Amino acid sequence: MEKVGTMDRRTLLQVAATAGVAQTTMAESANAASPAAPPTPLSTVPLQLPATEFTYEAVVELDPIVPLGKSPLGERRIIPITGGVFQGPRIRGTVLAGGADRQLSRPDGVLLLNALYELKTDDGAIITVNNRAVIDAPPGKAPYAYSVLDFTAPEGPHAWLNRGIFVGTVHGLPPERHAVLIRVYKVV
């Protein structure tokens, strides 16, 4: 058995396979380097695109923007959260007042949001939400407005929120509403 450093070839291949690294021969490597050759897959694990499952929709009510001044990274502002409602197949309730959406408007036009607030479910559970979003609305293109949400839920019927990756969309509602629409999906 050929030794590589302090590891034999079989052990090295097992480690590489465990890490998802495919073994390639020198000929395969040479072919992969050729621009005309199709790429060699790095792994034999089938590609599985993530799917999502609708979790809830929330209308979050807001106070007017409070400017916080410029920073080296852009214009800072905060928007107090005053309430709202949310509803989904497994969960429903109200958005509690007292949270806030901290925003950074970068010089390149991208808006970074970090909203921290609480939801109160119909059965009385309080769930903390940290919703971080990127909004980019370049001229002539459809806006890009997506978020990643982290939940901290108490043990019990809503603990499933602690055990997943959640993504969302952010939609501004008409200005007279002083609210945003957030749709949340669990990656399954």
Q: What is the pLDDT of residues 1-18, one digit of tens each?
A: 444 444 454 443 444 444
| CA-wise closest residue to 64 among 184, 178, 186 | 178
Set out the domains of the chain in order of their start, with CATH numbers: 1-47 (no CATH), 52-187 (2.40.160.20)
Q: Give the whole-angstrom CA distance, residue 102 versus residue 181.
A: 17
CA distance 59 to 182: 6
Predicted TM-score (pTM) of the model is 0.75
Please check the confidence at residue 30 and state whether its pLDDT lies above 50. Answer: no
Q: What is the arithmetic mean of pLDDT over 55-84?
A: 97
Cα 19 from Cα 67, distance rounded (Å): 48
